Amino acid sequence: MTLHTAQLRARLGSGEHRELWAEVEAAAAHTGRPLGVTEHMLGLMDWSSLEGCPIRRQLLPLHSELEPDHPLCRHDPLGEACGQVVPGLVRRYPDRALLLSTSRCPVYCAFCTRSWAVGPRREAGTRQRWELALGALAADRSILDVTVSGGDVWRLAAGDLGWLVQRLLELPGIERIRLATRGLVADPAHLERGPLLDTLATLASRARERGVRLALHVHLNHPRELGREAQGAAASLVHAGLTLRSQTVLLRGVNDEPQALLALVKATVKAGISPYYVYNADMAPGAEHLRTSLAAAAELEKQLRGHTAGFDLPTFVCDVQGGGGKRQLHSWERYDREWGLAVFRSPVVDPERLFLHADPLRDLAPDVQRGWLEYDSRLARIESALRSVHCPPSAG
């Protein structure tokens, strides 16, 4: 059950948290991002010290903590809207596609990269709409891997989710299906409250019969999200035959300390979930205060690696701006640390193109920050970074 603005206001708008709530409403008015939190996530918040609470930070941003958007920040950082082959089906890679099944989520995250498509006021998914995507998948045999995301599959009626995945299973070329959700940690009780667990168990056994690998990809960012209830839900899903993998967004003040990240990885493995990706946060509007630099992410990766089995450690990636896809964090062609500007290649997506990523301005020198804010000087710096990759200075 998701509490939206009106219900949250009724809960927090008077009494001891009213000043904090005023900050939350001011931030929402400023960023235009939707508010939505489950009872379960509210229960995970640290109510005696909400300001520093890592769960609150992800879901109820405060006006006072916002930072101005980076000049390269985009409403649709990954270029997904333009990457749709039909409405709701994004194609970036040769063999896989992303199906946007619904615009609804159990919680709305302050850093969501898909704020262009997600929110309680947008169109919910319908079978009629999914037919477009299913038709495109049936027509293109090169796609053998579908990620069903949204929004969040936890918000689909179990019958609709069953119908959609069954249709995907019936496509002859499909080899892998992933269902992306934050619901497992945001509303774990939902799994056994209705028919969802039975639906997923049935789908898992049908997938196995057909030789299709079906997995649930769980978005989780803090060890507290893996409490008793979420662990129980994960165990039920593993028992039902699903593979569970995790996806984590690196967030300042949430999980950007080596100890916090290590604790998260350990809790993830213990819950039967394989750590898959740690994403550098995307350059989405209203999320600047939560972003970390590539250098900080690379350092965290360095601190983490070696602590436990390599197969239990996530890969750190940066989903580069403009649709280059996920790139291994350290694989930049060039990283101008002074300006916090990285250039990536993505040969599979487009061998000719270069893709940019920029660090948050806060850690850069004051004159560099001013440079970023001036059109001519930032353009000159970007051009020089691109040129240095295209035409590297000859050795000697």
Ligand X SMILES: *Cc1c(COP(=O)(O)O)cnc(C)c1O
Contact footprint for ligand SF4 (CB under 6 A)? 105, 107-109, 112, 114, 118, 150-152, 182, 219
Closer CB to ligand X, 144 or 343, in the complex: 144
The distance of Cα 298 from the centroid of its chain, to the nearest Å, equals 18
- Which among 144, 155, 202, 209 has a CA at the least distance from the CA of 177? 144
60 binds, among ligand SF4, ligand X, none (CB under 5 to 8 A by kind): none
93 binds, among ligand X, ligand SF4, none (CB under 5 to 8 A by kind): ligand X
CA–CA gap between residue 378 and residue 374 (Å, rounded): 6
Is 246 a binder of ligand X (CB under 6 A)?
A: no
Q: Are 281 and 291 in contact (CB under 8 A)?
A: yes
Closer CB to ligand X, 37 or 143, in the complex: 143
Q: Which of residues 320-339 bind ligand X (CB under 6 A)?
A: 326
The C-alpha angle 281, 282, 288, rounded to 5 degrees, equals 75
* Known active-site residue 282: yes
Determine how β-strand 84-86 pairs with β-strand 36-38: unpaired
Binding track, positions 81-120, relative to ligand X; x by CB under 6 A: ---------x-xx--x-x----------------------
* Known active-site residue 82: no
219 binds, among ligand X, ligand SF4, none (CB under 5 to 8 A by kind): ligand SF4
151 binds, among ligand X, ligand SF4, none (CB under 5 to 8 A by kind): ligand SF4
* Known active-site residue 318: no
Q: Which residues of 169-205 are buried (b: 16+ CB within 10 A; e: fewer)?
A: bebeebebbbbbbbbbbbbbebbeeeebbebbbbbbe
Q: Which of 11, 74, 129, 326 is catalytic?
A: 326
Gyration radius of the chain over CA positions? 21
Q: Please give the C-alpha separations between residue 241 and each of 17, 206, 220, in angstroms, as whole numbers.
A: 43, 10, 21
Backbone angles phi, psi at 8, to 5 degrees: -70, -35
* Known active-site residue 291: no
* Known active-site residue 114: yes
* Known active-site residue 93: yes
CA–CA gap between residue 28 and residue 37 (Å, rounded): 13
Is 147 a binder of ligand X (CB under 6 A)?
A: yes
Q: Which of 69, 319, 336, 359 is catalytic?
A: 319
- Binding interface with ligand X (CB under 6 A): 90, 92-93, 96, 98, 147, 326
Positions marked catalytic: 92-93, 96, 105, 109, 112, 114, 282, 319, 326
